[in-house]
Amino acid sequence: MAVTYFDKDKYQRKPEWLKVQLPQGQDFKEIRDNLREKGLATVCEEAKCPNISECWSARTATVMILGDTCTRACKFCHVKTGNPKGFINAEEIENTSKMVALMSLRYIVITSVDRDDVPDHGAGHFAAVVDRVHRDHPETKVEVLIPDFGVDPERMHTLARSNPYVIAQNVETVRRLTHPVRDPRAGYDKTLACLEFYKTHYPQIQTKTSLMMGLGETWKEIEETLADLRAINVDIVTFGQYLQPSKRHLNVEKFYTPEEFAELKRLALKLGFKFVASGPLVRSSYKAADFLDYVESKS
């Protein structure tokens, strides 16, 4: 399938399919007010995710741990970058568990910034948060969207031993565009190595990754990336439209149509991925619990 491009000077004229309604509904309002009252925050709200009402109503949410400052500076990401100087807030462990209870979550996605400033890159803290949620809410499934932890086996074992339901590490884009899209310390092969490590050593845990579309990739490169991911038995893949967070971030090279996202889904399923989410507004954590529903429907 050919990938067509458009006049970059006019890219801010977003197509109709990228326009979304403001968050609404009684469930959303009650959850939002309760979170604010308790001083808790989700990535969903802070990142102004367009799917927030839909996910919260399905009792799914995403929380970010290890602080709000990332030691890396990917050119697509709006998260603050800097040096946290080793500080980790231990209260995140209890607060994440509180959020599960407050929102009556059946599925939680726990993600984080990169923490190259601490010896284990935050793996121990990440595992402690997952362990606490498992202990307090054994009925709640936990998905983790993790840093690469420097592709260090001991750190990756630390995380995996907390036994999350899904481990996600995002490849983000095709090999050719990995740099400058991602920070120099990240890498296409690093992500593949992480995903392969978890599937090899912890085959009971589902592995997942995500691709942003519209950065200049070709269809052939997308197919090559999906083949690389299937070669290491990645279970789940998501596709979403890249949107420029600010003028200092990478330009959008193309807006994919809903039909093209449907074609990406067909391609991925044909290659053997267990579950695929694909659409203009899909984000890596979008309707993450749908995979749980899929598994239960097959059992």
Q: Is the pLDDT score of 79 beyond 50?
A: yes
**pLDDT tens digits for range 40-60:** 556 655 555 566 666 656 677
98 pLDDT band (50/70/90 cuts)?
very high
- In the 3-class helix/strand/coil scheme, how is 189-251 assigned residue by residue? HHHHHHHHHHHHHCCCCEEEEEEEECCCCCHHHHHHHHHHHHHCCCCEEEEEECCCCCCCCCC
Q: What is the pLDDT of residue 5?
A: 40
Q: Which residue has the higher pLDDT, 13 or 141?
A: 141
Looking at the domain assignment, is residue 2 inside a domain? no
Looking at the domain assignment, is residue 256 inside a domain? yes
Question: What would the mean pLDDT of 186-203 be, rounded to a whole number?
Answer: 98
Domain of 32?
8-298
First to last CA, the chain: 35
247: number of Cβ within 10 Å: 6
Looking at the domain assignment, is residue 33 inside a domain? yes
Contact 77, 70 (CB under 8 A): yes
Helix (H, G, I), strand (E, B) or coil at 76: coil
The token pair at 128 is 């402690």
**pLDDT tens digits for range 106-158:** 999 998 999 999 999 999 999 999 999 999 999 999 999 999 999 999 999 99
Looking at the domain assignment, is residue 3 inside a domain? no
CA–CA gap between residue 27 and residue 34 (Å, rounded):
11
Q: Which residue has the higher pLDDT, 228 or 294?
A: 228
Average pLDDT, the chain: 86
Helix (H, G, I), strand (E, B) or coil at 71: coil
The alpha carbons of the chain give a radius of gyration, in whole angstroms, of 18
Looking at the domain assignment, is residue 1 inside a domain? no
Helices 258-271, 219-231: crossing angle, 10 deg rounding: 30
Give how many domains the chain has, as a whole number.
1
What does each C-alpha distance from 117 to 114, 187, 200 come to in angstroms? 9, 18, 28
**pLDDT tens digits for range 205-264:** 999 999 999 999 999 999 999 999 999 999 999 999 998 878 888 899 999 999 999 999
- CATH number, domain containing residue 191: 3.20.20.70
Looking at the domain assignment, is residue 50 inside a domain? yes
Looking at the domain assignment, is residue 216 inside a domain? yes
254: number of Cβ within 10 Å: 19
**Residue that the structure tokens 């990401």 belong to:** 77
